[in-house]
Structure 1
Amino acid sequence: MMLYQFSSRSDTGRLRTNNEDAVACEASLGLAVLADGMGGYNAGEVASAMATGTVSTALGTWLLTHQEKASARETAIAMRLSVERANQAIHQASLDNSEFTGMGTTLVVAVFSGARVLVGHVGDSRCYRWRNEQLSQLTRDHSLLQEQLDAGLLTPQAAQHVPYRNLVTRALGVEDQVALDVGEHVVSPGDLYLLCSDGLSDMLPDDALAQLLKNGGPEEELAQTLVDAANAAGGRDNISVILVRATGGPPTRRLLPRWWTR
C-alpha cells in the first residue's frame, strides 16, 4: 500500500501586508488544495478561502464514500464538480457584495489514491513532482506569459523579465463557469509532490527548486525551507506550499499520464 505524508506552509511574504493564499489538506483522504486569491481589499482572501473550503468539503465528502471503488475518471468528475461549485459561490459573492467585485482565485488540487494522483488546476498555481533527482512540472500555467511562450513570441530567458508574469487567463469566480484541467499520473515510492502558489515559483526558478528538494530533509522542515528561500529571494508575494511524500508500496509499471480538459 502506498502511504502519503502531507505538510504545508503559507506565508505573507516580505512585501504584502495580508495573505491572500489559502491551503487545505485532508491527509486521510489524500486530498490537497491550494488557492491564490486576487481582487480588491480583502477580496482575494475571501476568494481563496471560499475555494479551498468549498472544494475540500465537497470533494472530501465524495471521497469519504466513493474513493475506494471510484475510477480515475469518476474522481476527475467529482473534482470538476466541486470546483464548479466553488466557482459559482465565488462569482455570486462578487455580484452580491460590491467590496468583492472582480475577485477571483487560482487553484491547484490533488487527490492521491493508491499508486496514482489526479491533479487539477486553474490559473498559475502549480504542481511539481520530484523523482529520481528530476523535477517535472505537472501543470501548465493558464497565463498570458505561457501563451506567448507556447506561440514562440518569447524565449524562456526573456520571460523572466516581463512585467505581466502574473496575468492569468483563467481563474475561479471571474465568470459563471470555469474549466478545470485534470491530469492522472502514476506515483512511485519516494516521489515528492509540491503544490505551490506563484509566490514560490516566481521567486525561485526550477533549478533552485530542484536543488532545495535535492537537499531533502523532513517534509515539515523542507516546506519551511522553501518559504524561507522565496523570502530571501525577495518575497514579493504571498508564498504557499504543500508537500506530499509517497512512501511504501510495490514498484509500479510505467504508464503515460492521461489528461481530461473541458
Structure 2
Amino acid sequence: MATGRTSSDKDFPYWLVAAGTIAVIIAVVIVTNDLYLEVLNIVSKGVWITIFVTLVGFTLASALGLLIAVMGLSQSLVLRQIARFYVEIIRGVPILVLLFYIAFVGAPGFVHAWNFLTSPLQEAGLLSELRVRDISLMWRAIISLTIGYSAFIAEVFRAGILAVDEGQIEAAQALGLSRWQRFRLIIMPQALRTILPPLGNDFVAMVKDSSLVSVLGVADLTQMGKVYASGSFRFFETYSIVAYLYLLLTVGLSLALRALERRLRQAGNVDEPA
C-alpha cells in the first residue's frame, strides 16, 4: 500500500545534517573563544586514554565473551552450567560496583594469591614480590570492563551462532570438516552478520561506560574534565566540551558501524542466487 512518501524522503538522514551543522557551529565557537579553546586543549589529553581503555577492554571482552558463548553451546552439561552461571551473575552486577570490586578487592586478592603460590620462587630469588600498587588503576579498570561486558557479548555471540541454519552445519559435517573448520568457515561468517549490530551497540556503550574509570583517578576524558572544572569552577564550559567530544566519538562510531552493516548486507545479497 502506498504511503505517499518516497524512499529518498524516508531514508535521507536529516538528523545527521542537523547534528553535523550543530557540530560545526560548536567547533567554530570553540576555535574562536579562548576559554573554550583552553578547556579543549586540556580535556582532549584524556581522549587517548578513553580510546585505549575502550579498544583494549572491548577486544578482551569479545574474546572472553566468545569463549563463554562456545561453552554455553557445548555438549558438556558442566560447561553449559558454568557459562550460564557466569553470564547471569556478572550481568546482575552494575559496572560501577564491579569496577570498585575488581580494583579494591580483586586486585589485592590476586596479589596475595600470586605471592602465596610463587613464594618458593621468590625465596630463591627468581621472582620479586608482587605489590598491589604494581597493578595500575587503568588496568584494573580495563579488567573490570572486560568482565562486565563479556557477559553481555557472550549472549550476543550465542544468539548469532544459534541463528545459523542447522542444515548447513550438518552438510559441512557430512563433508568431513572438523569442528574448528565448521566454526571458522561456516558458522562465524554467517553469525557475524547477525551479531554485528548488537556488538556495535555494545562497543558504543563501552565508550560511554569508560567514563566510569574516572572514579579510580584514571586520566581519561571525564577525569581530565573533572580536574579542570574543580580547579577553575568553569563547570558549564568544561562539561560542555566533554559531552561534545563524547558525542563526536559515539556518533562517529555509530555511523561507521552502520556503513559496515550495509556493506555486509550488500555482500550477502550478492552472494545469494538470483
Normalized against structure 1, the TM-score is what?
Answer: 0.24
Normalized against structure 2, the TM-score is what?
Answer: 0.23
Based on CA coordinates, which of the two structures has the bigger radius of gyration? 2
Higher share in strand: 1
Higher share in helix: 2
